[in-house]
Chain A
């Protein structure tokens, strides 16, 4: 365990140092992160000029949902970066072989190959959005509810990672970067509460457990807890186990680019 933490730290430091080499590009990226959050903020503001509620959610609640989305997605991005979506190019260039030879768990090494330290700003920004939304709610969030919500956010992070891993396993067979791109685009649907979508899509978002990513943790924080939400924890566990199985299976079937 200690060894894994050390490797994780070293990999993070290596990417951090290499980003520091390109300072202009580093500040540029920070600027883009801020701008993208600002633009979504502005979009939501414009939306709420026309309406008081989005489905069953009021303005502060939608902002809180957006904050939770930012946190979950940037947290996973912070640790995984583009590591999982870049598997096709790893395979094509033969770099995967070197990773597989290393005496640590391959899933670990591949998943956290390239961390994105710049996402620390996004995580920080998500806290700002969250506290802004929480302070504009009509009542303060009690600590107990917040902590329960945090547990659900933890499960959401595990689910998010497992879904990415599942697609990464599929990309071994397809070798097409646009597959991950499509899926990440699809996951971004979770930044809106799932109940605004038509029924068919809502069912789909529950089966592919996207509803657990943002909508349910936010509902818990906002005091709309339902016992059925507790399913999130076994779902997270099972999905993690299943995605790991799939990933290892895909690795087993992998024969080097030249093979």
Chain B
């Protein structure tokens, strides 16, 4: 365990230095993340002028600004990197190492996330000034910790689901397509376009039991304190999905390496 942590730390440092190398892609990444939420925000604000919605104008602004941050918090880049390694045969060298294959990738994810989120924060300060939002961010209060916990849970669910899909590359060339499908359903059930309180009753119930809510909606709900379910129930369902994704990932990994005979062997 201690050895693995050390290996992780070395990878982490290495990847962190590499993120500094690609500054332009950092800027593009930041801008890209703004488009979807702002579009959804404009639509819902227009709607809120017509009918009476369960969320007020400033609540809508807060919600969609938070999605920018939370989508980035739970984001993972594993599918691309691991899928590519399996297809090209470069996966072999990660299997041969005396530490788990995903340590390098996890370090990459976390270091990139850390650096990029730090660059994102000033923008948020700007938004809060522009929209004159008055949210008391109660740092180091209970709600803030729950938010962090929910985000970490969301990231882990996403991370292991993506790893599981990436491992499908042992059998099929379709992993990008499968992931597109995942993203599409995430876009609908995650809460990035339709907040959960706007959903009609039956779809709301579906959204509560599906894993997609934990990537976007659930952390925001804990932060803003307008949970649709009891918070313990929410965390329990989330933990259930985490265990499920871990199990699938583990089974696919065990079966996959038996099947694997590196492409460029």
A: residues with CB less than 8 A from B are 22, 24-25, 28-29, 32, 35-36, 39, 42-43, 46-47, 49-55, 174, 176, 178-179, 181-182, 185-186, 188-189, 192, 196-198, 201
**Closest beta carbon of chain B to A207's beta carbon, Å:** 17
A22 CA / B25 CA spacing, docked (Å):
32
**Closest beta carbon of chain B to A202's beta carbon, Å:** 10
Taking a contact as CB atoms under 8 Å apart, the answer to whether B180 and A32 are in contact is yes
Taking a contact as CB atoms under 8 Å apart, the answer to whether B47 and A50 are in contact is yes
Q: How many residues of B contact A (CB 8 A)?
A: 33
| Complex interface bits, B177-190 against A, C-beta within 8 A gives 1, otherwise 0 | 10011001101100
Q: Is B51's beta carbon under 8 Å from chain A?
A: yes
| Given A32-B184, A178-B28; A196-B173 close (CB under 8 Å) | no
Taking a contact as CB atoms under 8 Å apart, the answer to whether B25 and A178 are in contact is yes
Contacts of A182 in B (CB 8 A): 28, 31-32, 35
Taking a contact as CB atoms under 8 Å apart, the answer to whether A46 and B200 are in contact is yes
| Given A42-B188, A189-B35; A28-B177 close (CB under 8 Å) | yes
Contacts of A174 in B (CB 8 A): 24
Q: Is B226's beta carbon under 8 Å from chain A?
A: no
Q: Is B36's beta carbon under 8 Å from chain A?
A: yes
A51 touches which of B24, B38, B50, B173 (Cβ 8 Å): B50
- Specify the chain B residue showing the minimal Cβ separation from A179: B28
Contacts of B46 in A (CB 8 A): 54-55, 196
Contacts of A24 in B (CB 8 A): 172, 174
| Given A51-B50, A185-B35; A39-B188 close (CB under 8 Å) | yes
Question: Which of B43, B177, B184, B198 is the most central at the interface, judged by chain A CB atoms within 10 Å of its CB?
Answer: B43
A28 CA / B194 CA spacing, docked (Å):
26
Contacts of B24 in A (CB 8 A): 174, 176
